[in-house]
Amino acid sequence: MEELIRTNNAVVLSFAESLLKDAGIHCIVADQAMSILEGSLGLLPRRLLAESERITEARRLLTDAGLGDELREEPRG
């Protein structure tokens, strides 16, 4: 799994997760349980992770949907 998005914006996260699932790309939202520690204030970002084998496809899909600015930088190397 590789990180695609890190955000506090629940709408962006939900939209991106929905796009990936509709395309058949396995993904998970990490750090959801952290809201218990922060008191549900939305201070700690959640991370959207997608399967490594389809990460390029996932990045392209999210970029085409207008979420390119939300994507984390691709790891180098």
pLDDT in tens, 1-26: 999 999 989 899 999 999 999 999 99
Provide the pLDDT for residue 25: 98
pLDDT in tens, 49-61: 999 999 999 999 9
SS3 for the chain is: CEEEEEECCHHHHHHHHHHHHHCCCCEEEECCCHHHHHCCCCCCCEEEEECHHHHHHHHHHHHHHHHHHHECCCCCC
Q: What is the pTM of this model?
A: 0.85
Fold of domain 2-69: Alpha-Beta Plaits (3.30.70)
What does pLDDT average to over the chain?
A: 89
- Domain-wise residue ranges, the chain: 2-69
